[in-house]
């Protein structure tokens, strides 16, 4: 979020954090982005990079995107290809990686694009480029992905339609939109909540309420998978916040049973697989989680990294090209006693911290700094919850 805010400031927006913790954004209007004076540093955020590439693509400005070592290793080709079709000129480092320079164009060319791989980030990048593109830009997704961008753009006043077809969901956005300012309440991130759902499920005696969790149906795959394993997760006070379904989740320790994770859950839980692998390490039986090729090109190769991390902690793991098979402990503590190479990946670090909560010997993370990428207060919440039952997260 901080990297995104800094980038938007560099392109003309005024963004301030208020005393009450809220953020106020004075925008430049659709088509009003200014030429940034320096490179846009995206830190560790692939989402910010891909979305802002889309935003810049239909403006007559040139922006250079840089990031840390982890982000610079991630391929951007899947978003480069459709943006170049819209007229942007992009010069990337070998392998379609950062640093890259994007020269936008006005007017850009509206396209109809079928996603070759399910990716909400690519979809959103094209829709953001379409905001300042005359005509109608269409994205066809054969496999539905998270729809936060569609909900947000419609809420701000963009003319956007979503329809079903034999080819998949068709999202159409009318360009040169007039967006209206809004007051937005952002629900809690289900990806962040997932760490506490798994922690409470595996640590005996746990009883926790995780407040204000966004339950957009395109994001609840991990809850579905955990419930299939026997997790005790109950929704409380269901409500709608900012156009998104939200509830508090009460989760209590429960014995978990191994499952074969349905591959069609992958798009709705792709970021939650690492912590689901941790849950599987404590289940009874062998959990098979496949159909998640996308994990190979995240902040790290999350399949290989989690296989190595769990194996180092004494868990029997079989690595597949698209996932893992994991033999669980039946609820007993795993051996632990390992130092984990997090590979600069925030979700690996947090997932293995959760694993260490029920390990016979300490689990050490080599570098916890990347956790600040998505959850700066993670360790503060953990310290507050440790050893406390009936607590809130």
Q: Do 121 and 226 have their domain in common?
A: no
Q: Which of 116, 150, 174 is the last residue of a domain?
A: 174
Q: Would 210 be classed as within a structural domain?
A: yes
Q: Do 164 and 232 have their domain in common?
A: no
Q: Would 40 be classed as within a structural domain?
A: yes
- Residues, the chain: 393
Q: Do 124 and 243 have their domain in common?
A: no
Q: Would 179 be classed as within a structural domain?
A: no
Is-above-0.95 flag for pTM?
Answer: no
Q: Do 207 and 340 have their domain in common?
A: yes
Edge to edge, the sheet with strand 260-261 lists 260-261, 286-289, 323-327, 316-320
Q: Which domain CATH number covers 59?
A: 3.65.10.10
Residue-wise burial string across 147-179, b where 16 or more C-beta atoms lie within 10 A, e elsewhere: bbbbbbbbbbebebeeeeeeebbbbbbbbebee
Distance CA 364, CA 325 (A): 23
Q: Do 209 and 262 have their domain in common?
A: yes
Q: Do 74 and 156 have their domain in common?
A: yes
Q: Do 312 and 367 have their domain in common?
A: yes
Q: How many Cβ atoms sit within 10 Å of the Cβ of residue 286?
A: 15
Residue pair 203/358 in contact by the 8 Å Cβ criterion: yes
Give the per-residue pLDDT at 186.
Answer: 87
Q: Would 185 be classed as within a structural domain?
A: no
Query: Which whole-number Å values give the CA distances from 51 to 14, 45, 65, 104, 173, in the listed order?
Result: 19, 10, 12, 14, 16
Among residues 189, 323, 202, the alpha carbon closest in space to that of 266 is found at 323
**Domain region containing 296:** 190-392
Q: Do 204 and 108 have their domain in common?
A: no
Q: Would 228 be classed as within a structural domain?
A: yes
Q: Which of 113, 140, 174 is the last residue of a domain?
A: 174
What is the chain's pLDDT, residue by residue, as a tens digit (393 residues)? 788 999 999 999 999 999 998 999 999 999 999 999 999 999 988 999 999 999 999 999 999 999 998 899 989 999 999 999 999 999 999 999 999 999 999 999 999 999 999 899 999 999 999 999 999 999 999 999 999 999 999 999 999 999 999 999 999 999 998 999 999 888 999 999 999 999 999 999 999 999 999 999 999 999 999 999 999 999 999 998 877 899 999 999 999 999 999 999 998 999 999 999 999 999 999 999 999 998 998 888 999 999 999 999 999 999 999 999 999 999 999 999 999 999 999 999 999 999 999 999 999 999 999 898 889 999 999 998 875 444 455
Helix (H) or strand (E) holding 9: helix 2-10
Residue pair 373/43 in contact by the 8 Å Cβ criterion: yes
Q: Do 195 and 120 have their domain in common?
A: no
Q: Would 14 be classed as within a structural domain?
A: yes
At a CB cut-off of 8 Å and minimum separation 6, what does 166 contact?
A: none
Give the per-residue pLDDT at 374.
Answer: 86
Q: Do 45 and 70 have their domain in common?
A: yes
Q: Do 170 and 194 have their domain in common?
A: no
Q: Into how many domains does the chain fold?
A: 2
Question: Catalytic positions, please?
Answer: 271
Q: Which of 174, 205, 240 is the last residue of a domain?
A: 174
Q: Do 48 and 11 have their domain in common?
A: yes
Q: Would 140 be classed as within a structural domain?
A: yes
Q: Would 184 be classed as within a structural domain?
A: no
Give the per-residue pLDDT at 389.
Answer: 43
3-state secondary structure of 346: helix
3-state secondary structure 257-326: ECCEECHHHHHHCHHHHHHHHHHHHCCECEEEECCCHHHHHCCCCHHHHHHHHHHHCCCEEEEECCEEEE
């Amino acid at each position: 979020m901080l990297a995104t805010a800094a980038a938007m400031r560099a392109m003309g927006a005024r963004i301030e954090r208020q005393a009450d913790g809220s953020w106020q954004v004075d925008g430049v209007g659709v088509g009003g982005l200014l030429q940034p004076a320096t490179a846009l540093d995206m830190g560790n955020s692939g989402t910010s990079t891909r979305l802002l590439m889309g935003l810049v693509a239909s403006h007559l400005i040139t922006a250079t995107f840089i990031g840390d070592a982890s982000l610079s290793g991630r391929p951007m080709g899947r978003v480069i290809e459709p943006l170049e079709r819209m007229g942007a000129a992009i010069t990337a480092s070998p392998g379609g990686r950062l640093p890259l320079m994007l020269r936008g164009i006005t007017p850009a060319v509206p396209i109809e694009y079928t996603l070759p791989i399910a990716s909400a980030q690519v979809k959103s990048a094209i829709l953001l480029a379409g905001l300042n593109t005359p005509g109608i830009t269409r994205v066809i997704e054969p496999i539905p992905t998270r729809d936060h961008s569609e909900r947000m753009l419609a809420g701000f006043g963009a003319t956007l339609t979503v329809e079903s077809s034999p080819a998949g969901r068709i999202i159409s956005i009318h360009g040169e939109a007039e967006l209206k300012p809004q007051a937005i309440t952002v629900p809690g991130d289900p990806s962040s909540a997932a760490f506490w759902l798994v922690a409470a499920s595996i640590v005996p005696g746990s009883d926790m309420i995780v407040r204000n969790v966004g339950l957009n149906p395109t994001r609840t795959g991990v809850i579905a998978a955990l419930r299939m394993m026997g997790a005790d997760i109950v929704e409380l006070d269901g409500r709608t916040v900012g156009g998104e379904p939200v509830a508090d989740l009460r989760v209590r320790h429960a014995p978990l049973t191994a499952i074969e994770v349905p591959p069609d859950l992958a798009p709705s839980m792709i970021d939650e697989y690492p912590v689901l692998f941790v849950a599987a390490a404590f289940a009874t039986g062998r959990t098979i989680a496949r159909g998640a090729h996308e994990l190979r090109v995240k902040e790290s190769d999350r399949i290989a990294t989690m296989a190595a991390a769990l194996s180092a902690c004494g868990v029997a793991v079989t690595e597949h090209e698209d996932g893992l098979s994991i033999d669980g402990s039946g609820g007993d503590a795993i051996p632990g006693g390992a130092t984990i190479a997090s590979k600069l990946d925030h979700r690996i670090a947090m997932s293995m911290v959760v694993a260490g909560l029920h390990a016979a010997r300490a689990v050490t993370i080599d570098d916890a700094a990347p956790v600040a990428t998505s959850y700066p207060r993670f360790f503060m919440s953990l310290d507050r919850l440790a050893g406390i039952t009936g607590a809130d997260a």
